[in-house]
Amino acid sequence: MPVDGRVQGALASRRIGLSQGVRVNGAIGVFDSGVGGLSVLREIRRELPAEDLEYVADSRFAPYGDRSAEVIRARAAIMVRFLESLGAKTVVVACNTATGVAVDALRASTTTPIVAIEPAVKPAAAETRSGVIGVLATPQTLASERFDHLVSRYGAHVEVLEQPCRGLVEQVERGDLSSAETRSLVEHYVRPLVERGADTLVLGCTHYAFLRDVIQAAAGATVTLIDPAVAVAREVRRRLTAANLLARNGRDGIERFWTTGEPADVQPVIAQLWQRRVQVSIISRV
């Protein structure tokens, strides 16, 4: 269903944020360029079963990894404003590319707490036995200054192999998680990293969590895969606890799903990945 006039009016405001008052029963807002952020939403739901969740897939502009930095920053700002218009008490950037390119600008433009996922270089560097780690990510994530900073700060004592993975996001967006085409793409990106000695691989895009079994098969059982989604969920809990904003226990939180794309296209894939029937509403004219 389209967004009604009240939401459109809220979107037109400069910013909402915590200064206008956040309630304990406000939702946790989560956004990604598409459906990949559902892997983060899944961990938040496990960690915080009483919280209401609002998820936005900016499907009309997916994947962010192929967009310019200017477009990514603009889209991320629109996603945050929309979630604030729904009364979100915190916003989770469930897209490594948006974090790398836009999170500093987002935090400077709102008082709403922003929790952002980023490639787990630090735990991978601590985990590796061979001294070589591989990072699977989009080209924009790997090209960002924020990623360079992560490698400089946490990867100085290991070899960090960067692997841009064009095409994998699109496979997940289609719900194609295990076809011969998907497996071939994964092997094309993963095998060279393993052959160069990587024993630890970072899933540097939230979409790739849905390809975990295929990636593990291509890498081999002795290679460790690291997905930062669990750490993000724990950070959300920590932030809400510190701010006294946790929902009351004893209730079951609900989820609502939104897209800037066509719900008829997006809904089946969200249902497939979320593993239950869902209703997906369209965000018009954003």
Nearest Cα to Cα of residue 186 among 217, 158, 225, 150: 217
What pLDDT score was predicted for residue 24? 74
Query: Which phi and psi angles does 181 have, rounded to 5°?
Result: -65, -45
| Same domain as 189, residue 248 | no
205 and 252 fall within a common domain: no
Q: Catalytic: which of 40, 56, 185, 205?
A: 205
My answer on whether 200 and 274 are in the same domain is no
164/43 same-domain check: no
Residue from 38, 44, 92, 95 carrying the catalytic annotation:
95
**Are 234 and 113 in the same domain?**
yes
Q: Is 205 an active-site residue? A: yes
Residue 133 shares a structural domain with residue 218:
yes
- Note whether 92 and 220 are same-domain residues: no
Q: Are residues 11 and 113 in the same domain?
A: yes
* Domain region containing 59: 5-117+230-282
Q: What is the pLDDT of residue 11?
A: 36
Q: Two tokens at 17?
A: 């944020």
Give bridge partners of residue 258 from the DSSP assignment.
56, 281
Residues 67 and 14 in one domain: yes
CA–CA separation, 91 and 29 (whole Å): 5
Is 165 in the active site? no
14 and 112 inside one domain: yes
> HSE on the CB side for 43, CA within 13 Å?
21
Residue type, 266: V
Residues 109 and 168 reside in one and the same domain:
no
Same domain assignment for residues 184 and 256: no
Domain boundary among 227, 255, 270: 227
What pLDDT, on the 0 to 100 scale, is given for residue 285? 66
Beta carbons of 160 and 126 less than 8 angstroms apart? no
Distance between CA atoms of residues 172 and 43, nearest Å = 18
Ordered per-residue pLDDT tens for the chain, 286 residues: 333 333 333 333 333 334 344 577 899 999 999 999 999 999 999 999 999 999 999 999 999 988 999 999 999 999 999 999 999 999 999 999 999 999 999 999 999 999 999 999 999 999 999 999 999 999 999 999 999 999 999 999 999 999 999 999 999 999 999 999 999 999 999 999 999 999 999 999 999 999 999 999 999 999 999 999 999 999 999 999 999 999 988 889 999 999 999 999 999 999 999 999 999 999 986 7
Q: How many structural domains compose the chain?
A: 2
Q: In CATH, what number is assigned to the domain containing residue 22? A: 3.40.50.1860
